[in-house]
Structure 1
Amino acid sequence: MGANIAVAPRRDRTGSGRPPGAARRKPRRARDGRRVAWFFLAPALLGFALFYAYPTVKGIYYSFTDFTLLSDPAFVGTGNYRKLIGDDQFWNALKVTGYYVVVNIGSQTLLALLLATLMHRLTRSMALRAMLLVPWLVPNVTVGLLWMWLLDANLGFVNHVLNALGLGTTGFFTAPGWAMPTVAGVNTWAYTGYTALLLYAGMLQVPPHLYESASLDGAGEVRMFTSITLPLLRPVLALVLVVSLIGSFQLFDTIAVTTKGGPVGATRVIYYYIYEQAFTKFHMGYASAVAVVLAVVLGVLTAVQMRLLRASRSDLA
């Protein structure tokens, strides 16, 4: 028998080793994910267009009309804005809102910083964090009703305790001097836990070796907080302050279920004033003008706040 001789396939002239006549495979194209991304973004963009963009454009249009919900709108130019400049109730509502913003953000931020620092330096209990979220999870209407019953001048538990201590009865929601601080205290109770968790999450990003080095150098907890924690927490703190500012200007539900703008306008914040003009007096055009001015004020305050706090820069970089 003759030996079987293996014959190697001939190489093509390019030296690739591919047998002659074999089809060359085309290189695969990188898959373009933009179509898939737009597909998943489409529902969110549609919702934004229907529930945010369109109402915004419509509201700006109505602000230049005399729309009253009872008749077709007629164009009045800047008449609503000129009326707004001379409206004492508008300026009073803006002043009351500013007072609430200062009291609410000040108390809420300080308490949240204290709670976040205690959790970060002393305990990281999951149960404690869950408890802090409970007030934030309760609807604002329920929170308002709960505290209205607790602070009622006749039947409230708090006033019964004050009477037992010989301090007398206080009309927390009915006295002009107490109404707005009480509303601010209620919302501080409701939102401090959530704000504390945001700040706590920011504190977790601070490298632990910075605290160890400072401790070896003899720095105490207060010095480490002011020299390490607070400067490195600036971007998160800026976010918290901006969100708190916008949320404070949007105060409505707590007022609606407790004081309804009273007593004597002491708690008539700008959102409640817009509601009264639009759905009580049916001055939809004028209410739209007030809303547009409020949006501009919030935009300016947010930009100033972001600039002063240098929110886009981090000392950790």
Structure 2
Amino acid sequence: MSAQATVELPRSVAQRAPRRGRRRRSELWFALAMIAPAGLGFLVFYLYPTIRGFYLSLTEYSLLGSPTYVGTENFQAIAHDEVFWTSLRVTILYVLINIVSQTVLAIGLGVLMHRLTKSALIRGSLLLPYLIANVVVALLWFWLLDYHIGIVNAALDSLGLTKVAFFGSSTWAIPTIALVNTWRHMGYTALLIFAGMQTIPKSVYEAAAVDGASEWRMFWKITMPLLRPILVLVLVITVTGSFQVFDTVAVTTNGGPGNASRVLQLYIFDQAFGRSHFGYASALSVVLFVILIGVAFAQMRLMRAGESDLD
């Protein structure tokens, strides 16, 4: 009996092995079928345009002719393009104002949600501005801040204060656009930060409270250090998105007055579709792509994205 059992066991294992192999292959094909639409979309709408963009950056090209290879001439021209450097400075100014204000407000909102309220309605309402299209938000604030008929300037005038040309002043244009986008995105950013705070064990706060730590001290000594991995993710997303600002500027100032609000994306769009310099616009896009990679890499290294203070 025992001898028969020892003979039958390898046979049953041998019979199950092909079945497992067939099951794994079927699961693999099923998984590939599920990701095929997303993979096809990635190839068609992301990978191919990216490769073609790199190629066009080395050419002189307009819609009326065929690409002519010119090597690195476009990049050499960028180095001496004053409008490009102005656009880069304007974009960096926008990013700094937008990221600082958005991050500070989002952290404040996240802490308030985490420590004071559990209402899903209040938390969900923070997302309402983010659900509105950028163009609609830009037009809304463009009318509210209009110098002649805007309700904000009407309120300033009724208080005896000087009206402000928010979108028509070279001093105020970029800060205004940055704060408009801060208003739209800070609720979404706050929810990301709030989700990160949910991963911090309550026992850590309870132990600190027993030791007599104040809310302010717990925020700086517990919340911020343990929130660092989430903050890295949030900053990479927001900084990358801020460098690509376009629609708010196009709807409100269109780069004016002068070049005071001509951000890089608007300059690329103007070179490509306004002047039909697609090769030069592609080179500008490559430069922006390299800048974004460098900024994201620096953020992740300086903030130690791969490490966690939560053991």
1:78-227 equivalences in 2 (<5 Å): 78-227=72-221
Counterpart of 1:72 in structure 2: which amino acid? S
Is the deviation greater in 140-149 or in 123-132? 123-132
RMSD (CA atoms)? 1.7
Which residue pairs with 1:14 in the alignment? 4
Which residue pairs with 1:6 in the alignment? none
CA 1:209–1:72: 2 relative to 1, 3 Å:
same
Which residue pairs with 1:248 in the alignment? 242
Counterpart of 1:97 in structure 2: which amino acid? T
Query: Structure 1 or 2: larger helix share?
Result: 2
Distance in 2, matches of 1:15 and 1:208, equals 55
Of the three residues 19, 32, 35, the one matched with 1:38 is 32
The one-character-per-residue Cα deviations of 1:85-106 (angstroms, maximum 9, x if unpaired) are 0000001100100000000000
Which residue pairs with 2:43 in the alignment? 49
Which residue pairs with 2:265 in the alignment? 271
Which residue pairs with 1:26 in the alignment? 15
1:231-242 equivalences in 2 (<5 Å): 231-242=225-236
Distance in 2, matches of 1:113 and 1:295, equals 28
Distance in 2, matches of 1:15 and 1:246, equals 65
Counterpart of 1:245 in structure 2: which amino acid? V
The one-character-per-residue Cα deviations of 1:196-227 (angstroms, maximum 9, x if unpaired) are 00000000100001101101111001100000
5+ residue gaps, structure 1: 1-10
Give secondary structure in 2 for the equivalent of 1:293. Answer: helix
1:161: Cα distance to partner? Answer: 0.4
CA 1:78–1:163: 2 relative to 1, 3 Å:
same
Of the three residues 300, 303, 314, the one matched with 2:297 is 303
Structure (1 or 2) with the larger CA radius of gyration = 1
Counterpart of 2:220 in structure 1: which amino acid? T
1:312: Cα distance to partner? Answer: 1.3
Distance in 1, matches of 2:228 and 2:97, equals 21
> Normalising to structure 2: TM-score of the pair?
0.94
CA 1:281–1:24: 2 relative to 1, 3 Å:
closer
The one-character-per-residue Cα deviations of 1:234-284 (angstroms, maximum 9, x if unpaired) are 010000000001000010000010000001111100000000000001100
CA 1:75–1:213: 2 relative to 1, 3 Å:
same
Give secondary structure in 2 for the equivalent of 1:218. Answer: coil
Distance in 2, matches of 1:232 and 1:298, equals 26
Give secondary structure in 2 for the equivalent of 1:176. Answer: coil
Give secondary structure in 2 for the equivalent of 1:313. Answer: coil
Distance in 2, matches of 1:211 and 1:24, equals 53
1:60 aligns with 2:54: yes
Counterpart of 2:16 in structure 1: which amino acid? P
The one-character-per-residue Cα deviations of 1:156-212 (angstroms, maximum 9, x if unpaired) are 011110000111211000011010000001000000000000000000100001101
Which residue pairs with 1:8 in the alignment? none
Distance in 2, matches of 1:281 and 1:224, equals 56
> Normalising to structure 1: TM-score of the pair?
0.93
Distance in 2, matches of 1:234 and 1:74, equals 48
1:229 aligns with 2:229: no
Distance in 2, matches of 1:264 and 1:306, equals 36
CA 1:17–1:289: 2 relative to 1, 3 Å:
closer
CA 1:35–1:218: 2 relative to 1, 3 Å:
same
Counterpart of 2:91 in structure 1: which amino acid? T
Counterpart of 2:121 in structure 1: which amino acid? A
Give secondary structure in 2 for the equivalent of 1:177. Answer: coil
CA 1:13–1:205: 2 relative to 1, 3 Å:
closer
